[in-house]
Structure 1
Amino acid sequence: MSSIRPWRTIDRRLSRQIMVGNVPVGGDAPVTVQTMTNTPTADANATISQIRRCEEAGADIIRVSCPDVESTTALREIVRAANVPIVADIHFHYKRALEAADAGAACLRINPGNIGSADRVREVVTAAKANGCAIRIGVNAGSLEKDLLEKYGEPCPEALVESALDHIRILEDHDFRNYKVAVKASDVFLAVAAYQALAEAVDCPLHLGITEAGGLLGGTVKSSIGIGSLLWFGIGDTIRVSLSAEPEEEVRVGFEILKSLGIRNRGVRVVSCPSCARQGFDVIRTVEALESRLQHIRTPMSLSVLGCVVNGPGEARETDIGITGGGNGKHMVYLSGVTDHHVQDADMIDHIVRLVEAKAAEIEAANASAASVAA
């Protein structure tokens, strides 16, 4: 509700824009959120089902692994069923890249220096051009080229950047510029330093990630620190949070990172207290229930859930809807920062859900009206 302060602004690195299917990446396009399926790609039905869940969570781009011909055969059906661009993940097998491009992949994740002879690289680039595919160069600290490891002794920012520049040079030599680059590492310091150096060396879009970040809790923390730091520096055009969790959770965490920095908003941003003995209701259980029941809301809006009146009124003034704990199971509801009415314990969660849904509908109607007038 409040206007943007100067100390909240992020000066975004200016990159050139590419297209991944119908989704722009880089330039002034919104930072996109990606994830990757973990079903056997050859099982098209299972993969499509997982893609649907990721789409519902808000994924802009989804990657699928294509390790064999059965996977690239199924890819054609998967691409037709998906509502978002599909990236084919290719390692070493250049024929899989050719098959994926022909099957309709919007992007190939492949390192051109790893697929063999110049003729093979030429074939892949030709197929990408012919099918309108982008290419993502994916440098990873865990799979650096042997000569770079020998040169530097260990994975380091200089080695990751040199690997990326080597792969970029191959594409540029084939007059191909519809590419983006990642230099991932599981070490936050290494990844951030590599991305910072690469951002100064190239103008292409950068795909951010802390690879092998861990489980839902630990991986969220590591990814938030690494990806969040880079985005705060203005670096990054598309992100993937790599978690040992279901891919839709990666999408949700990705949007939470973007929301926290005010870069992109989707759904309800919850402001809630950690709770204490002053709480007038069970804040932890209430927030858990609300986050679960409000996942279907896509409209950007804010909700504060505070257990008592110490910080509650102040936080509620800054959110679209707010609730603060009161005595005798009776709690104050705020609408647009203003005290409005009370609600009882038993009705509180259902009541807040209805208020959020109504507010979302109101915002969407206003947006539609404004768009109609502008047209």
Structure 2
Amino acid sequence: MSLRPASPALAAALLFGASTPLAKLLVGDMPPLLLAGLLYLGSGLGLGALLLVRWLRDPVAASQLRIPRPEWPWLGGAIFFGGLLGPALLMAGLTLTDGATASLLLNVEGVLTAVIAWLVFKENADRQIVLGMVAIVAGGVLLSWEPGAGRLSVGALLIVGACLAWAIDNNLTRKVSTHDAMLVACLKGVLAGSCNTALALAGGAALPPGAAVLGGLTVGFLGYGLSLTLFVVALRGLGTARTGAYFSVAPLFGVLLSLAIWPQLPGGPFWAAAMLMAVGVWLHVRERHEHEHSHEVLQHTHRHLHDEHHRHDHDFAWDGRESHAHPHRHEVLTHKHPHYPDIHHRHGHGH
């Protein structure tokens, strides 16, 4: 398949992967919960500013931005797991784990995302996807194990816990991915960031110097806000498991930046784990899914161009080139082509 549908997920991976070692630079200046709050607060405030610019440029289109009330529980669950629990666990884990290992451990998020999508939400996963997940899990276990200790390190377990929280978040966010991605990410950032920051301050944490606060807000805007916006776009086009697979590239970017900040020669287990994870990502990226399938009647709203899945008339002027958003109806259609489990391909399989 073309890599074009994957480009938002890869861009999200680049931004998020870089944020992990940068957050580790800041974690020593403030309590983990406060840093988690500032990261998400930076995400929400930055995206809110971009939404304001959009509103000033096109008030009519901006006035239509909303999340339908029946879908708020999905978004609320995503905010709790991904915005509150996940960042708090990650920041705590970063205080006990070196930057390169923490970055590679985050690869487990893509695996857990795929497992939940497959087992709970019944998204299709073939043998290649499963083999890729096994390879990434094996790499994560190898990274987490402390030789001679006979147990998993606490820092590694906290980071894996963050990955699980984000995996649940990813699957819940898919339920609202047809709506404006920036709005979804902004709401998650503002609500989660406000709660985490308030809890940290109520627990006795003190705000660090202004430079550290500004650093946390900036890293949050880039590594969480813009990354999450692109991730939601990818969920819409790829489905949850595939988006998680492409997002698994994020730790590779994080490792490169970590080794640039803290120069060191990683040991053998590090490289073995990196190889296993690379094989897993490669298996995910080369997956091809094609079969005859039927589309049921579906009515929804999202930004689109007219393609084989969008062949409808308009009651408004449209030049045929620009993407546009409006309520539209899909009629029954049966055809065969390579596809992902995106918002138009959420069908069952006979195998």
Please report the TM-score for the alignment, with normalisation by the length of structure 1. 0.23
Question: Which has more strand, going by share of residues?
Answer: 1
Please report the TM-score for the alignment, with normalisation by the length of structure 2. 0.24
Larger radius of gyration: 1
